[in-house]
Structures are given as structure tokens and as C-alpha cells.
Amino acid sequence: MSAAGALAIITTVSAGGSPAAAQTGAVAAAADESITHEENPRVPEGAAWTEAYFPSSDGSGVELHADVLRPAHLPANAKTPVILSIGPYFAHAGQTDPEGWDRVGPSARFQDFIDGADLMARGYTFVMVDLRGFGGSTGCLDFLGPGEQADIKAAVEWSASRPWSTGKVGMYGKSYDANTGLAANVLKLKPLRAIVAQEPTWNRYNYLFSNGVPRSNATSSPRGYGSIATMAPLADDSDRYKANAQYEASHPECLSNNQTDTQDPDPTSPYWRARDFATRAVGTHTPLFVTSGFIEDNTKPEDMEQYLDNHKGPERGWLGQWEHVRGNDTTADGRLKMGRAGWFDEVMRFYDQYLRGIKPSVADPAFAVEDSLANWRAQATWPKADSSYRVRLSSGRYVDDGGATQSAARLAAPPQAKGSDIENAPSAGPLAPVQAENTDAPGNNFWTFSTPVTKQVRITATPEVTLKTTGQGNVLVRLWDVAPDGTATMFNENAALLAGSRSTLIELKATDWTFEPGHRLGVQIGTVSASGWRDVPSGQTIKVSDARLALDVQDPRFDVPTQGDRSPYLDRYVAANTTTLSDVGPGTFELKLPHSR
């Protein structure tokens, strides 16, 4: 069966892919013998499965485990391109929690890709590697730090050096194993020729903090990964796999260090600089195919623009109004969650181009983008702005009390992450009515409004707010789309920690929001009154002066349409993030486009 020589126990698997009761009997396999689907239903159809072990690249003695799926119809020495996934979710027992398997087998995490793209019939090898501390690998997890980056380097180079490899490697992933692709790009690895990264974080700091303010998952997510790292192996895993899987039992510092080290709130610390892939992407060239939901609440699109600007190689992307999903995911009634058809076909044209040198038969757009009205367009780059400018916002003051002094816009708190929660975006709850007026007595927020737009205007790219403040505490900046009747939808937010008298730059999330005629932009500045954060209110009055908003805007009249339907999540998001403002002040700036083009 594998290099470890585990037994192959004959079982059946239910139609839905979950394990069923084991049948009696066992079939022993030789050390290097591969196992097919007919011999073990956990192996994808058309694949031959083996296991392998190899050292990480940092000289630490960490041993990495790989599951290798080769096309069963090809000779053992037939050279193929390799598609690699490396991350924490490939344990034989389950991705984030034990899944109830009653026999050993390769992870089903990306069986949708293997089957949907017909990967084996196309003559690709698919390799799944456990990062250190997870699955069958030894070592201490380090939240995509230097250790895990050494594992990524080793996995790419090992995959390229196998006698059955052409030496050309692509990477595929979603969430954490999409992050490993972005990390691999900054390592500038020669065998790495293409990366598909769905819903990644672009700077690992932003997953736990925003400008010094901890997010609600700041402690629960590291704890969740500790839970995954200590998942028990299966009874029929090999002795070598079992010993590696139990590494943390004799190294308790692995979990304690990860829980402690991730709590540094300073984004400029050495710990977070090593994990700032957006900054480190300067001058990189690996072809990228990325997806990102502008309104998703798990791996938020922060520093995406910086990463793509710093990256100089070919870029492709699907960007739109969805949650934490894959390009092929569907709803219960069969609708595509991203709204755009053809994910696997487009991905394989991308891989064929860069791993095999096959010119695509279809001219796919570089970027397919869905805006907030569910209109899809094709662009050569993202972002693409027709005008960039800064506007002055109102000065004001507020009490940093966490929203205690008045009714505040407050989202329902996301659940605390366990292992099984890490891959799932939290759902937003309804908003309470929001007061919009500025008053002499400080409340917990104040507002600035634009004048109504006379034609469609789209805010794109990464809005930025600069504040001069006095007082210590927290600030939350939110952007709202305000209709003529006062109905308002919050579409962007970010927080920052304020310390004394200083100027603070707050980058919001990447966005793509289109304003209809008669609508205006509302900018809300105040205490962190929304859940999703673990701020500590100071109780101080924060005075804000010389506030500025930097915007990139685009004229929808010049959109080039491309295929795509409304993402189902968009309606849920709008319903959960819409309220009615009791009073809307006069407009003090314009959302404007250039007069001509």
C-alpha cells in the first residue's frame, strides 16, 4: 500500500462519501504497492494511492507526510505535472474533526476537484502534504511562519524531484491551503509554475487582528488549529504515521507556544512580518489564479490589493459578493455559490497553460468581477479605477464605551471556533436602528454623508481613512450605502487601536460596491459597537479632527459584461446588514467620476 506498509481493510462507502460499516477481511499490501479505488473506496476513481515521507527544508529534523494520487492507467514511471496541496486539513481521520472513517485512506478534502476536473484522466498527479504538526507530520505548527514556509518549500521541491514528475508543480487550495500557495509565491521557488488560491488571507495578521484590535477569533482560531494538530490517527494507520501524529503529546510546547505567539497585537513585530505575504510579494512572478469574496466574514479581503500590486506575474481572479466558498460550491437547490459557471474548466485551462504549455482554447477574462448589484464584468486587472481622490470628513467626538450610550449597529456574535468551525464563515445577524445625527453631547459615533449621486458610481479597490485623534481607545470605521428613504446597508468596516494624540491610517477591506442614482455614501466613525471584535473599551472621549477618506471610483457605464449570476449570499448579507437611519445629515462631499474618459 504505502511506504509505511499499512494494511488495506476492505470496506464500503456510502453514496454521500461518508464511511460505512467495515466488511470482514483484510488485504495486506507490499511496502511500495499502490492502492486503487477498487481496493479501497476512499481512493478516488482512476487514482493509485501511495504514502511518502521526506524532511522539511530547514534542517530541523521535521518529517513531512504526503499522500500521492497518481493516474492508475499510467505506468509507475510515467512523468506527469504535479498539483500540490499542503496544509493542516489532510489527516486520514478528517479535515478539522474526526469524520468517522473506519479505515485508512487519503483525505477527501479536494476529491471534488479531483473528480470534477477529471484530474487523473487528464494525466496529472495530485499530492497532499501535511504541514508540520498535522496529520502524519512531526514538528510544531507555527501559523504559516518560518517553519511552515520551510515545509512548503520542501513539498514543492520534493514533488518536482520525483521520478514520475515533469518537474513542474502547481498548487491548489482554499482558505489555509490557499494561504500556503500565496506563501509559496513569495518564496520564489523555481519548480512552482502556477497557483490557484481560493479565499486566502493575504497577510496572516489580519485573520486575528486589525490595527491592534483583536478580532473575536483571536484566541479561538489558534486553539482550533491546536485541536486539529492533536487529532488521533486511525486504528489502521501505519506505526510511522501514528508516531508522527502523536508528536504534540510529547511536545506540549507546540500548542502553548502557538497560543501565546499569535497574541502579539503589533503588526510590525518580527512574528507578523514573517507572515506578511502582501508586503513580501514584491517582485514575485508565479502565475496566480485567486478568488475572494468582498463581503465574506472569514478570510476577509484585506491587503489583497497590496499583494496583487506587488506581484508582477500573470494574474487571474474571480472576485464577488460571496461567503467562504469554493468556485464549484452549490446551494441545496443547485445554484452556484459564486454565481459563475465553469470553475474546473477554467482552472484546468490555467494549469494546462502554465504546467504543460498548452495554449488555452478559450479566452477567459483575467478578472471576472461581480459588483453589489450582481452585475458581472471582465477586467484586465483588479482594481481598475477611473478616478482616485480624497475627501474631508467631519470632525467629531465619541465615547469609546463599546456602544453602551445609544442604540448601535451591532452584528450577531460569530461562534467561537473549534476545529470544525475554522472553515466556516460566521453568519451575520440583523442590525438595530442607528442614530445618524451629530450632537454636542458625544454619543458613541458620528457621521459624514456624501451628496446623492446622479448616476451610478462604483467604489472599488481599498478605501482608506486617515484620522487625527486625541484620547486612548478604539475606533471603528464603517461605510454605508444610504438610499433616499434612509435605508442603509453597511458594506465595509475596519477597526484600529488609538493611543494618545497621533494620526492613524486605517485601510478598509477591498470592495466593489455600486451606488444607484439618489444614493449617498455614509461614513460612520465611533466606538467598536459591532461584534466580531474583542476590543476593551477605554471609556474615554475620543476627539477626531482632520479626518480624510481616500477613494477609488469606477464608472459602470464602461463595464465589459461577462457570464455570471447573482451570488446567493448577497441577498442574505444585505438583509443582515441593512437598517434605517433615523436622521441623515446634509451631504458635505461628492462621489464623483471624471467628466470624460
> Can you give the pLDDT at residue 594?
87
Q: pLDDT tens digit string along 402-419?
A: 988 543 333 333 334 556
Is residue 500's pLDDT more than 60? Answer: yes
Q: pLDDT tens digit string along 246-305?
A: 999 999 999 999 999 999 999 999 999 999 999 999 999 999 999 999 999 999 999 999
Whose grid coordinates read 508565479?
286
Number of neighbours of residue 410 by Cβ within 10 angstroms? 17
> Can you give the pLDDT at residue 140?
98
> Can you give the pLDDT at residue 12?
29
What cell was used for 45?
Answer: 476513481
Closest by Cα among 74, 1, 76, 96 to 42:
1
Residue 96 three-state SS: coil
* Torsion, Cα of 199, 204, 205, 209 (10° steps): 30
What cell was used for 253?
Answer: 510546547
Find the angle CA(434)-CA(469)-CA(500) to the nearest 5 degrees.
125
Q: How far apart are CA 175 and CA 450, in angstroms?
A: 36
Residue 38 three-state SS: coil
Residue 253 CA to its chain's centroid (Å)? 28
CA terminus-to-terminus distance, the chain: 64
Closest by Cα among 14, 563, 109 to 336:
563
Average pLDDT in the 195-220 region? 98
> Can you give the pLDDT at residue 531?
86
> Can you give the pLDDT at residue 423?
64
> Is the pTM for the entire model greater than 0.85?
yes
Whose grid coordinates read 498527479?
125
- Tell me the average pLDDT of the chain: 90
Q: pLDDT tens digit string along 362-398?
A: 999 999 999 999 999 999 999 999 999 999 999 999 9
Please say whether the beta carbons of 476 and 506 come within 8 A.
Answer: no
Whose grid coordinates read 484585506?
302
Task: Indicate the range of 28-42, 106-120, 157-171, 418-432 predicted with least confidence.
Answer: 418-432
8-state DSSP, 543:
E
Q: What is the CA radius of gyration of the chain?
A: 25
Number of neighbours of residue 15 by Cβ within 10 angstroms? 6
Is residue 437's pLDDT more than 60? Answer: no
Task: Indicate the range of 60-74, 157-171, 371-385, 399-413 predicted with least confidence.
Answer: 399-413
